[in-house]
Each structure stands twice: as structure tokens, then as C-alpha cells.
């Protein structure tokens, strides 16, 4: 048997099947499954299908599949896998939120460094207690969007002042 270079790996069609098509939900990416297919998958004891659902949740913990699983878990009788999926939802969301807080903390540290101010002075000038600002710097909590804008403006203002002083000193 000769294999030619014309043979290519076929990707599943992400579009929903047309009326009368024989494609089952299992063949499509989980993100394209209707809620009824998620419900049906949770009623089975097919570990491979559950793993696909878990992988979709981990890719996007607040996405469509995660919300569908939440909906199914809220309205359906408890399946054997329901407790595990609830735990997956909780843990993946917590992990994502921790990563997001750390990203915000890195940005705040950059703003602080650019300003040239000390932590207490910066905190005072944005109107928050020093201990609250320290929580932002360590990724324990995140500031509001308005406070982030205030920090950016302060950093830019003091950064310009510092640059101007360095320009006249040199």
C-alpha cells in the first residue's frame, strides 16, 4: 500500500451538524455541544467523555462549557461525577483568579517602580492604607479599575517629573 502526501489529518467540523446529519456531539469539540449533550454526557459513565469536558473547563473556566456544566449540576440529580466536576470548576476558577491577581500585582509593581516613590508614599497619594496597597503588591487582592487608573496617572506624573530632573542633572 502506498501512502501519498495528499492524506491530511481531518479536523472535526466545529459547526453544528445540519438537519439529518449523522455527526454526534461526541465528534465535535466540547465547546460546541448543546447543554443537552453535556447533561447526557454526565449521565454516562464514560471517563473519556468526562475528561474532554474537564479539559474544556480548564481551557476556559468561565466559558460556555463551564457555565453549561454549572447549569446541569444545579438542575440535575447528583451524578457520580458531579462532585468532581464541581471541584474542577472551583479549583480552575480559583487558579485563574490567582494568576490574574498576580498579573495585576506585577503591573502595580511596575507602576510603583516607574513613579520612583516608596510604597507608603504611593499608597498615600492614591488614597489607600499602606497595608491595603501591600495586599495589591502581593496579589492577595486586586484594586478596582478606578484605582488602577489613579495608580497609572500617579506613576506617569511622577515618572515624568523624575525624568525631567534626571535630564537637568545630566
Summarize pLDDT for 52-93 with one digit per residue, the tens: 999 999 999 999 999 999 999 988 766 678 888 999 999 999
Note whether 59 and 68 are within 8 A (CB). Answer: no
DSSP summary character for residue 13: P
Domain ranges of the chain: 23-80, 98-170
22 Cα distance to chain centroid: 34
Provide the pLDDT confidence category of residue 12 given band limits of 50, 70 and 90.
Answer: very low
Residue 31 CB partners (closer than 8 Å, separation 6+): 56, 60, 63, 64, 65
More confident residue, 92 or 19: 92
Would you tell me which CATH number, out of the four given (3.40.1380.10, 1.10.260.40, 1.10.1740.10, 3.40.50.970), belongs to the domain 98-170? 1.10.260.40
Classify the C-alpha dihedral 63-57-31-37 as positive or negative.
negative
Interatomic CA distance for residues 64 and 121, integer angstroms: 43
- 100-152: pLDDT as tens digits: 999 999 999 999 999 999 999 999 999 999 999 999 999 999 999 999 999 99
Question: Which pTM value belongs to this model?
Answer: 0.71
Amino acid at each position: 500500500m502506498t501512502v501519498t502526501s495528499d492524506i491530511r489529518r481531518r479536523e472535526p467540523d466545529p459547526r453544528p451538524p445540519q438537519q439529518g446529519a449523522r455527526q454526534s456531539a461526541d465528534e465535535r469539540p466540547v465547546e460546541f455541544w448543546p447543554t443537552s449533550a453535556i447533561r447526557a454526557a454526565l449521565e454516562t459513565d464514560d471517563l473519556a467523555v468526562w475528561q474532554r469536558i474537564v479539559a474544556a473547563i480548564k481551557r476556559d473556566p468561565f466559558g460556555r462549557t463551564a457555565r453549561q456544566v454549572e447549569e446541569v449540576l444545579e438542575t440535575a440529580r447528583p451524578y457520580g461525577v458531579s462532585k468532581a466536576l464541581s471541584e474542577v470548576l472551583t479549583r480552575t476558577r480559583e487558579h485563574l483568579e490567582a494568576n490574574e491577581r498576580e498579573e495585576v500585582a506585577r503591573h502595580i509593581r511596575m507602576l510603583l517602580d516607574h513613579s520612583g516613590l516608596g510604597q507608603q508614599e504611593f499608597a498615600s497619594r492614591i488614597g489607600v492604607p499602606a497595608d491595603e496597597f501591600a495586599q495589591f503588591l502581593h496579589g492577595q487582592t486586586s484594586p478596582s479599575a478606578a484605582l488602577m487608573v489613579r495608580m497609572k496617572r500617579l506613576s506617569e506624573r511622577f515618572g515624568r517629573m523624575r525624568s525631567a530632573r534626571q535630564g537637568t542633572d545630566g
